[in-house]
Each structure stands twice: as structure tokens, then as C-alpha cells.
A and B are shown apart, each in its own frame.
Chain A
């Protein structure tokens, strides 16, 4: 992931997108492989240094209700990370928290309320403020708009874009909603059953997907347009995601892939760059169909 970019991750439940997001902010230690923050492995840091280091790597979760303490006012919740980090005096922290709330268009009047007194959209704004207050470099946004209605969702996506510009933030944007990811991301990774199967620039990936799973995913998304403007052929995948206790051999997608060949169940496809910046793991990615 590059500085200042929005890196989208799409995939169905259980595909591992949240796990990747959590590993990026050091909430989960990788079993194998590593995460590098500017070339440095955060897990190699001492616990004390890591605590300071992870302030720069924040995460916002899907459910704004679960993320806020019902017994704290919005201002207290937003100030809490600063209190924990012990930055500045109490007055400074208070001012910083109010500033952060101001960035997400929440005034002092809202700040004094408790979570149950405000709407879902406003709670999510408070969570964003809470993530911003420590001045992070990267924010993992895990399904942050999934629980919101479309009109609020649009407002929130605009807010994310504004904050990115103002604070030079890098986003990891995790969602199962293709349209949302396609809209906000520079590059998109598609995950299936614990692996990235395709990675590329958002527009290219959406317009000309290389992996059969990406194709199926795009075609399954219902389009709110009149029938004559709908030109995609729908690919309805059969079956369900396999069990992680008994993963399929070869390509993990072969059990549901409409184009599967005998080779697919025998060997795992190589991860390769098909065109500049466009990566895919499929035996038949080169074959047009």
C-alpha cells in the first residue's frame, strides 16, 4: 500500500478481509509472513514501543454501537485515546477532541450527548473522530458504511474523501459492497477463502476483471438501472464457500468456478502480473473467454 492511497479489499464473509485489516493494525500477529510499516516489522518492536507505534495505525469498525461505550459522552469517547496515550494536559486533550469532532461536522452540542441519543450515522462520525484524534497515517475502515442507509452512506463517503485530502491519510477500505469500494479506491484487492485472487487499479479491475471469481462477484451485484441498460451477463455461482477445515486442493475457487478444468484441482495457480499493476492467480487468466 502506498502513502495517501485508498486500498480497497472486497470479498465475501469468511474470505479473510477483516483478518487482513486487523493484522495491518497489529491486532493479530501473523502466523507466517510479515507486515511492514515503512519497511519495519511492528511485531519485532518491544511491547512499549509497539504501543506508541500503533497510534499511527487506526481501525474503524462496522458497528458504531458496539464501538462506543454507552456510559461515556461522545466527547469522552473521542478523548479517551488521548487520555490513554497521556498526550498533553487535560485541557489540550479536550480541545483536540473537540477539533476532531469538528472535522467530522459534529458540534459541541453533539459532543455532550450519549451514544443512545444520536443516530447511527452520527455515531459513525464519532468513531471516525476517535480514530483521527491520534493523528494516524493509516486508517483501516472495516465495513464502515455497511450499517448506514444509502443517503447517509453517500455523505459518509464524501467525508472520508475530504479527511483523506486534509490529513494525507492512507485508507484500507474493507467492504463487501463492490460499488462502494470501486467508488472510493485507487487499487482493489479481491479476496476469496483466505487469499487475494486479483489485485489491480480500481477502474481497470471493475471494467475488465481477470479472475472468474471477480467476474462472478461483479455480475452478482444487482444494478439499479432500467433493464435495457443492464448488459452484464449474470453468472450465478453454485454452492457455497468451502469449509476452512477441509480446504479444496489446487485452486481454492475450483469447486465453484464455472470455468474449472482438471488442472485447477491439481495445482495452485501462480500469482503473477498479467499487465502492469494487474495481478491475478488463475491458470486461465491469459485465455480470453
Chain B
């Protein structure tokens, strides 16, 4: 519904947007988003501490890419960097974030404002803290529309209702008049998706969009996200700790550990044969792969603190396969259809899921 009604009304805008980017001498790559050597550090009382280390990946147009990793591995920080939402003070970022041919890292705040929400949409984990409690959801979506398109108040409202209908909310006109508090968690997340997609962004970043939801509602939301993404050609950067969701919804995935990308490749082949011991360890520790009541395998040790990162491979101290070569810092190397940050990637035979 969104795409049909949307294309009818947004044609002039879409053409205009197209012209702008054409005139800007785009670099002709198929990548919509190209993150190169992104490093982020924060400063506290004890000095600078690096949280992201040379994160590099690309998202192609219309692609669904999943980022998986445990808490503190830097997946959300990566998303915030792309959105230009890092704090201004006490934060240092290096590297390039090339979106649609333009380096976002070089754009100022006013430039970012035109990208954020319009070209790149974002859905967060907790919809209640992302929605303003004192405005109706219809007003909040209409505000997004008016920020990016020169339309009348009335048309913005109409588009808000259409957007709510497109995320399959029954009675969208009524829903638009509601305040966030009177909606359920699943409904709020639908509203967030409607708001993120109303401007038909080229990229949608979804950071744990279903983590706060029940599994049956999660299934509804995922189905909706993927379907809308496909229909509007929006690329999806999907951040989660749930490997199952990545397996079922993404074409490509990235595993992150301790602020670094450790593996990057097609979901199917990573699941069948992970190349990095950390990815394999994550798959291995999931219950359901072993006989009920048997012992689960776990990754020994803990994630190192950002101040005490090992000099060599960051996963080395916890890795069962660590060798002498792992004492050296690891770089992301191309192996088969992937990129892996492991010197032993090609001589290890690690078990995948479902063997």
C-alpha cells in the first residue's frame, strides 16, 4: 500500500532526489554503503579507549545484511556511527563511511540531517523510548514527512495514515490519533517501522527491532520488515544477537567481536562452515543443537575489556585453536567467499550449524 500510494505522490521528489545524486559525480560502485576502516574511541577519566577497530564492510543496494555479536562487541556503535549519532565531545572517529557516493564522515550536522530519516532510516530496540509520549503517533510520522518533503500539513497526515496502513495496522486512521502509551509493544514497533519507511529511505538500519517482543509478534514484525524492504528496494542493515533471525532473514552476515569484524560472508555458507573460531563458538553454544539435558559447549573466558585488549588476535586468549601466529595482530583476509580475521582460517575445519 505504501509503495503504490507513495510512488504516486512522491514521483516529483524521487526524480528530484535522483537528479541531485546524479549531478554529484557518484563513484560508480554497486555498494550503497561502504564503511572503511572505521575506528571509534571514547575518552573518560583514564584517557582514550578504542571501542571500534578498523570496522569495514559494505551494503549493496536492496541487500539484507545482518550484524551479529554479543553485548559490547560494537554492533550498535557501528550503527550509530553510520547515522552520525556519536556524541560530539569525548569521541573520536576515523575512517570513511561512504553512502551513495558521499562520505558521511565529512558531512556536517546540517548535511547529516538531510540524510538521516530521509536516506537512512532507523528502527531501535525499545520503541517506547524512541517515540515521544506527548504527541500522537500520527503527528510524529507527519512531522517526519514534513521535515523532508514540502507538503501541506494535511497531506503529511494522509501519508502518515497510509504508512500506518502499510505496516498492516488495522484502523490506521484511528491509530494515528493514539498516543504511544495506549499501543502494545508490537504496535509501537510497527509505528516505528512506518515512521522509518515513510520517506522511503535507501537504507534501513534496524537495531534489535524485535528483541523486546514476543516470539509470535517477532515473526510478524520480521515478515513485515522483509516484505516492505523487498517492495521498496530498501537495503536492510539488521543488528541482532539472535543468530536464528539472521539465518532466516539475511543474505549476508557479519560477526563482530571486541570491536572488530571477525567474519563477513554469505549467511548460508557461514552457517554450514564458519571460518572464524568465534563464529563457530557462537553457533556451538546454542541450546537445541545437542541432545536435551546434555552439556552445552561454551566459549571459555570473557570478552576482554576495551582497556586490556590483547596485542595479537583479540579472540586468541579464549580460542581453542590459538597458535604462535595468533600473537600477531590479525587483519581481515579474503578466504573463499568471505573475509575472516583469523590467520588459521584456511587450515581449520570448524563445525557449522545443523551437522
Chain A residues close to B by CB (< 8 Å): 12-13, 119, 149-155, 157-158, 161, 176, 178-180, 182-185, 202-203, 216-217, 220-227, 229-230, 234, 236-238, 240-241
Contacts and interface: CB of A to CB of B under 8 A. Distances in A.
Contacts of A185: 292
B247 interface: yes
Contact of A224 (B219, B222, B247): B247
Contacts of A237: 216, 219-220
Contacts of B4: none
B120 interface: no
Interface of B: 70-71, 184, 186-187, 214-220, 222-223, 241-249, 268, 271-272, 281-283, 285-288, 290, 292-293, 295-299, 302, 352-354
Contacts of B290: 183
Nearest to A120: B71
Given A222-B244, A230-B248, A217 B220 contact: no
A151 B220 contact: no
B218 A220 contact: yes
20 contacts: A12-B214, A12-B216, A149-B241, A150-B243, A150-B286, A154-B296, A157-B287, A158-B296, A176-B214, A183-B288, A183-B292, A202-B292, A220-B215, A220-B218, A222-B222, A222-B242, A224-B246, A227-B247, A229-B353, A236-B223
Contacts of A230: 247-248
Contact of A226 (B222, B292, B352): B352
Contact of A221 (B215, B282, B352): B215
Contacts of A179: 286-288
Contacts of B217: 12, 240
B281 A151 contact: yes
A13 B248 contact: no
B268 A152 contact: no
Please indicate which of the listed interface residues A149, A150, A180 has the most CB atoms of chain B within 10 Å of its own CB. Answer: A150
A165 to B, nearest CB: 11
A216 B283 CA distance: 24
Contacts of A180: 287
Contact of A178 (B186, B215, B241, B245): B215
Contacts of B302: 119
A221 B214 CA distance: 10
Contact of B219 (A149, A202, A220, A225): A220
A18 to B, nearest CB: 14
Contacts of B71: 149
B293 A222 contact: no
B70 A149 contact: yes
Contacts of B243: 150, 224
Contact of A220 (B216, B272, B352): B216
Nearest to B214: A12
Contact of B215 (A157, A176, A183, A225): A176
A286 B337 CA distance: 49
Given A183-B292, A223-B244, 6 more contacts: A149-B70, A149-B241, A153-B287, A176-B214, A202-B292, A230-B247
Nearest to A224: B243
A5 B268 CA distance: 38
Contacts of A240: 184, 186-187, 217
A224 B216 contact: no
A179 B214 CA distance: 14
Nearest to B240: A222
Residue of B187, B247, B283, B353 ringed by the most chain A CB atoms within 10 A: B247
